[in-house]
């Protein structure tokens, strides 16, 4: 394996990464990550408000991964790769930074982009109205998604959703999401 | 109807339901991946309770965290309560507790209050 571990370490150190994971996303894994992060947030002695915000956003980000790796069919070799995801959390002087990456089906990019762009254009009151509208809509998905997760993240963080898509082939793309949460106010 | 009591887990809240006292309590964190499955039972009990409610129904909700998957289920619980309340056989208040500096949780209570017609009382509690 042609992999320089120090290079990995150094990059993560420079980006102030405190926890990262790459692999299959299971319910038990999420429980463990959340426990570790809760202990870390306690250690940092964050204000209760900040701690709760980071924790809530973390839950939404991780559960987005959990629910959406399912959509990429786990049949052949390629989709086995597609079931895994990456997650990282870092902290600098002003912000917590939560980054996730997972495969998605390429044809699902346009509606997702449209949704995120729409959210990114909204102010606090518009996000609140959209949240309530989706919440009170009976056609909410079985998985509990319905796009409420991203609206909730935008509402809690007050920041734009950062995102990127990398085209892998005709069928698959890699979706990365970059969320920032202030810990200074 | 029997009393119901569900112990909390790292991802699901404590639930106490005492149909003889008209007391319903949800407390802790609600962040399961599959919320529908967790709340299904409570919704079934409420359905049965609605056939013969007490003169007073007291609902206490004190959540530390809840995910968006639970938020819909919590609304379903409140809507089930609203259905019982609308029939007129019971006086009902939903007490929504939040830690005093947790403005997100206060706002979440306000969101629900704006959607359902049951009287809400939002109560600040000191941080633990």
A145-176 pLDDT, tens per residue?
567 999 999 999 999 999 999 998 888 899 99
Q: Is residue A135 part of a domain?
A: no
Report phi then psi at A19, rounded to 5.
-155, 135
Q: Do A144 and B101 touch (CB under 8 A)?
A: no
Structural domain count of chain B? 1
A61-105 pLDDT, tens per residue?
999 999 887 666 544 555 556 678 999 999 999 999 999 999 888
Contacts of B127 in chain A (CB under 8 A): 48
Option in A66, A140, A156 nearest B33 (CB)? A66
Contacts of B64 in chain A (CB under 8 A): 52
Q: What's the angle, vertex CA A67, arms to CA A38 and CA A59, rounded to 5?
A: 15
Q: Is residue A19 part of a domain?
A: yes
Report phi then psi at B24, rounded to 5.
-130, 130
A48: containing domain = 5-115+166-182
Question: ipTM of this model?
Answer: 0.91
> For the domain that residue B39 is a member of, what is the CATH number?
3.30.750
Option in B69, B73, B111 nearest A131 (CB)? B111
Q: Is residue A30 part of a domain?
A: yes
Q: Is residue A152 part of a domain?
A: no
Q: Is residue A59 part of a domain?
A: yes
Check CB contact of B88 with chain A, cutoff 8 Å.
Answer: no
Q: Do B31 and A34 touch (CB under 8 A)?
A: yes
Check CB contact of B10 with chain A, cutoff 8 Å.
Answer: yes
Q: Is residue A96 part of a domain?
A: yes
Option in B67, B111, B127 nearest A59 (CB)? B67
Structural domain count of chain A? 1
Q: Is residue A68 part of a domain?
A: yes
- List CB contacts of A121: < 8 A, sequence separation 6 or more: none
- Interatomic CA distance for residues A165 and A113, integer angstroms: 9
Q: For chain A, what percent of residues have pLDDT higher than 70?
A: 86
B20: containing domain = 4-125
How close, in Å, is residue A168 to chain B by CA atoms?
28
> For the domain that residue A64 is a member of, what is the CATH number?
3.30.565
B14-18 β-sheet, strand order: B4-6, B14-18, B23-30, B56-66, B91-99, B120-125
């Amino acid at each position: 394996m042609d992999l320089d571990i120090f290079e990995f370490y150094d990059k993560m150190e420079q980006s102030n990464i405190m926890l990262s994971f790459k692999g299959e996303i299971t319910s038990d894994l999420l429980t463990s990550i959340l426990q570790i992060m809760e202990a870390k947030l306690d250690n940092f002695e964050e204000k209760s408000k900040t701690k709760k915000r980071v924790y809530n956003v973390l839950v939404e980000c991780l559960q987005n991964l959990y629910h959406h790796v399912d959509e990429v069919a786990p049949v052949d070799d390629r989709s086995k790769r597609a079931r895994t995801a990456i997650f990282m959390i870092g902290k600098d002087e002003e912000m917590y930074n939560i980054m996730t990456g997972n495969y998605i089906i390429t044809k699902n990019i346009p509606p997702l982009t449209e949704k995120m762009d729409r959210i990114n254009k909204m102010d606090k009151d518009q996000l609140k109205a959209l949240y309530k509208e989706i919440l009170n809509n009976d056609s909410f998905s079985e998985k509990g998604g319905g796009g409420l997760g991203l609206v909730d993240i935008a509402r809690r963080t007050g920041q734009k959703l950062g995102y990127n898509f990398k085209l892998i082939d005709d069928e698959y793309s890699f979706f990365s999401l970059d969320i920032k949460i202030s810990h200074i106010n | 109807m029997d009393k119901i009591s569900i112990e909390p887990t790292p991802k699901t809240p404590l639930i106490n339901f005492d149909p003889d006292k008209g007391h319903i309590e949800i407390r802790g964190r609600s962040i399961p991946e599959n919320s529908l499955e967790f709340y299904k039972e409570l919704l079934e009990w409420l359905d049965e309770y609605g056939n013969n409610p007490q003169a007073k129904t007291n609902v206490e909700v004190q959540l530390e965290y809840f995910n968006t998957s639970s938020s819909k289920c919590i609304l379903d619980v409140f809507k089930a309560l609203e259905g019982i309340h609308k029939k007129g056989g019971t006086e009902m208040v939903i007490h929504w507790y939040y830690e005093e500096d947790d403005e997100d949780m206060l706002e979440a209570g306000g969101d629900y209050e704006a959607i359902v017609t049951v009287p809400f009382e939002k109560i600040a509690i000191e941080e633990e």
